[in-house]
């Protein structure tokens, strides 16, 4: 089950991302369904998972298009309700090197309340894994985490976009796994964002565990990911395959979708993260958000032909 956001992505591709006050000529424009929650739900469907979603869209064409697109990925959209007003949109600027800059206007996502989660709590029953993000109001995300826990599900929070205010410790304690990227991890830990070395990711993971987190997986882009396990005191770097990035827009969402699918199928955490690394790495070779999501077969074939370095123990 995914509880989260749905946005229509409006994407402009240009040689580089403009600076403040600058106008540049772009190369391409397109629109496609997106939103971190919907990306995860769509990804889980294509990657072979049995998935449903809770969320809100506006009573507009964008909302209807986003629901229909999820159905194409075999996602159950029963829990996606329409509210009066506009659906969420994301304005995405993609540079030639794959870097991106995004402005999200939440629209109907801000109308998704804790009360709505409680009304649909029965839909969470039977879920092995529940995926959450931060494009809905924080109280709603907290209500979803609690409802998921009550339903006996494993709760995974992708703390993205990085919150402007510290996350409530109650929310951090209410999830089983946190999956920040290096920027989000630093912000959550009260540090200046920047590229992290694996050892730094471990330190930040430990700091988040001191705030109540259990297992922290820090996504390091081309470096792979670092698993920081509280119970066993372990920290491990899992390398990602080497690829040439075209667009990194939904890589974190694909990672979360693949992680959720793998865990729901009974894989242990390292194996699930390896699968997620392959899926996310393949996604960045393509343009778009949901358009970049690979199928299960594509990921399995990609994994066979792209070897990675052995896991590195970082516990010491």
d(CA 228, CA 178): 10
pLDDT in tens, 172-218: 999 999 999 999 999 998 888 888 899 999 999 999 999 999 999 99
pLDDT in tens, 126-141: 999 999 999 999 999 9
d(CA 124, CA 203): 34
pLDDT in tens, 212-257: 999 999 999 999 999 999 876 789 999 999 999 888 888 999 999 9
pLDDT for position 192: 87
Cβ contacts of residue 74 below 8 Å, gap of 6+?
Answer: 45, 51
pLDDT for position 193: 85
d(CA 85, CA 60): 7
pLDDT for position 316: 54
* Res. 305 pLDDT band, cuts 50 70 90: very high
Can you list the alpha helix ranges (DSSP code H) found in 243-295?
251-264, 269-283
Q: Is the pLDDT reported for residue 56 higher than 90?
A: yes
The percent of residues above 90 in pLDDT, for the chain, comes to 86
C-alpha distance across the termini of the chain, in Å:
36
pLDDT in tens, 263-294: 999 999 999 999 999 999 999 999 888 989 99
Pick from 174, 97, 167, 103: nearest CA to 134: 167
User: What does pLDDT average to over the chain?
Assistant: 94
Pick from 27, 3, 36: nearest CA to 252: 36
Q: Is the pLDDT reported for residue 96 higher than 90?
A: no
The percent of residues above 70 in pLDDT, for the chain, comes to 99
pLDDT in tens, 8-25: 999 899 999 999 999 999
Length of the chain: 316
d(CA 58, CA 185): 32
* Res. 165 pLDDT band, cuts 50 70 90: confident
DSSP E strand boundaries for the chain: 2-3, 7-13, 28-34, 51-58, 75-83, 88-94, 100-105, 129-132, 154-157, 177-178, 215-219, 225-229, 234-238, 312-313
Q: Is the pLDDT reported for residue 169 higher than 70?
A: yes
pLDDT for position 1: 98
In this prediction, residues 48-73 reach a mean pLDDT of 97
Q: Domains of the chain, with CATH numbers?
A: 34-88+107-313 (3.40.1190.20)
Indicate which residues carry an active-site annotation. Answer: 253
User: Is the overall model pTM greater than 0.85, yes or no?
Assistant: yes
């Amino acid at each position: 089950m995914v509880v989260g956001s749905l946005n229509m992505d409006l994407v402009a591709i240009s040689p580089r991302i403009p600076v403040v006050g600058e106008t540049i000529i772009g190369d391409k424009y397109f629109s496609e369904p997106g939103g971190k929650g919907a990306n995860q739900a769509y990804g889980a469907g294509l990657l072979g998972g049995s998935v449903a979603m809770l969320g809100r869209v506006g009573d507009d064409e964008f909302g209807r298009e986003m629901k229909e697109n999820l159905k194409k990925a075999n996602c159950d959209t029963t829990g996606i309700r329409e509210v009066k007003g506009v659906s969420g949109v994301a304005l995405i600027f993609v540079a030639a090197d794959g870097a991106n800059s995004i402005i999200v206007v939440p629209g109907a996502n801000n109308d998704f309340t804790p009360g709505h989660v409680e009304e649909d709590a029965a839909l969470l029953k039977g879920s092995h894994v529940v995926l959450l993000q931060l494009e809905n109001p924080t109280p709603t995300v907290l209500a979803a985490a609690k409802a998921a826990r009550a339903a006996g599900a494993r709760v995974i929070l992708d703390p993205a976009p990085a919150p402007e205010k510290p996350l409530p410790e109650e929310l951090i304690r209410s999830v089983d796994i946190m999956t920040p990227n290096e920027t989000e991890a630093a912000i959550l830990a009260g540090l200046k964002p920047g590229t992290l070395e694996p050892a730094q990711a471990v330190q930040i993971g430990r700091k988040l565990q001191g705030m109540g987190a259990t297992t922290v997986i820090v996504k390091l882009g081309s470096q792979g990911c670092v698993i920081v396990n509280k119970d066993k005191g372990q920290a491990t770097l899992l390398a990602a395959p080497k690829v040439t990035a075209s667009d990194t827009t939904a890589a974190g969402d694909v990672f979360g979708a693949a992680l959720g699918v793998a865990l729901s199928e009974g894989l242990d955490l390292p194996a699930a993260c390896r699968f997620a690394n392959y899926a996310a790495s393949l996604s960045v070779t393509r343009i778009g958000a949901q358009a970049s999501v690979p199928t299960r077969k594509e990921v399995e074939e990609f994994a066979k032909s792209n070897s990675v370095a052995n896991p590195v123990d970082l516990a010491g």
